[in-house]
Amino acid sequence: MALFTEQLFADHLTLPYAEAAVVGDSYYAAPVPDLPLRLRIDFAPTISAGRYDGLRLQVVHMEQGRIDTAVLRFADYGEFEVRDRRRGKKPGQDGYGTVTDWNHSEHAPWIGINVTRLRAAIDQYVRLWIPGAPPVRTGPPPLTAPVPQARTSPARAR
């Protein structure tokens, strides 16, 4: 599979959990390390092999097992709205709001994803099920202004 899961979580979703890791195509985290609750996120499969239409979130208790599962569909959050409009895809059409791992490309199938609303939904879900979890940054990535560089030039002689 070429879903580039680690890149999606590290570079795009940027969840604030210090104790987290990507194993295979799943993201695991302990949002509050002292609690026995863990978060697992993976791609939500469709009826078609190798096609995914969202992220599946699970809260797992370390002793009691899975407590809850939710699926956040890409189409519901407009994650690929721009990409799909450019491709001429509309809601209900094959391939709308989905990614596939059919191609063995060096590029992630989710390139062009807009994670702002998806990140906010993940935050809402985690904070509901895992009390004390740090908030997820729900806005667009912060813009950093370039730092002005001191110009050094030889002193002019008068």
Q: Can you list the residues of the chain whose pLDDT is less than 70? A: 1-2, 138-158
- Convert the pLDDT of each residue in 16-46 to its tens digit: 999 999 999 999 999 999 999 999 999 999 9
pTM value? 0.82
Residues in the chain: 158
Query: CA-CA distance, 12 to 9, in Å (whole number)?
Result: 6
CB of 65 within 8 A of CB of 48?
Answer: no
